[in-house]
């Protein structure tokens, strides 16, 4: 039997933990191969911090959360937090489609 594969596409680092962290961990515990894609860099997640340091912290937090939740593959697209709507939409779509083609998940979910 082939292991189930799921791809979850989220806007921000930390969206994987709340509100869907328990669901992701349950899928991983059942043997599913989870791929997580975050669109933004999370820079606005810590008020008043140095933007470069905040992005580094948020990326480290995301990697740690992915490990705890059992996420096998992690992709950070790195678009500016709060400005995803201003990013070239054809580029965003192309990058997401390329990841879908590469990983070929059985199920996808975007929040």
Give pLDDT tens digits for 26-78.
999 999 999 999 999 999 999 999 999 999 999 999 999 999 999 999 999 99
Residue 6 · residue 27 · CB < 8 Å: yes
List CB contacts of 35: < 8 A, sequence separation 6 or more. Answer: 5, 6, 7, 8, 71, 72, 73, 74, 75, 99, 103, 105
Reported pTM:
0.93
Enumerate the β-bridge partners of residue 33: 5
Question: Which of the four pLDDT bands, split at 50, 70 and 90, describes residue 3?
Answer: confident
Tell me the pLDDT tens digit for each residue of 84-105: 999 999 999 999 999 999 999 9
Q: What pLDDT was estimated at residue 2?
A: 62
pLDDT of residue 38: 98
51-69 helix and 21-29 helix, angle to the nearest 10 degrees: 40
For residue 34, give the nearest of 62, 3, 63 by alpha carbon.
3
Q: Backbone dihedral region of 14: left (phi > 0), alpha (psi from -120 to 50 degrees) or beta?
A: left
- Pair 59, 16: CB distance under 8 Å: no
């Amino acid at each position: 039997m082939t292991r189930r594969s799921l791809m979850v596409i989220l806007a921000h680092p930390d969206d994987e933990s709340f509100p869907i962290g328990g669901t992701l961990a349950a899928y991983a515990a059942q043997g599913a191969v989870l791929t997580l894609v975050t669109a933004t860099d999370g820079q606005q997640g810590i008020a008043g911090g140095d933007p470069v340091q905040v992005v580094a912290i948020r990326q480290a937090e995301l990697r740690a959360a992915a490990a705890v939740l059992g996420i096998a593959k992690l992709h950070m697209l790195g678009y500016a937090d709060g400005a995803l709507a201003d990013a070239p939409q054809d580029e965003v779509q192309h990058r997401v489609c390329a990841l879908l083609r590469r990983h070929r998940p059985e199920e996808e979910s975007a929040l």
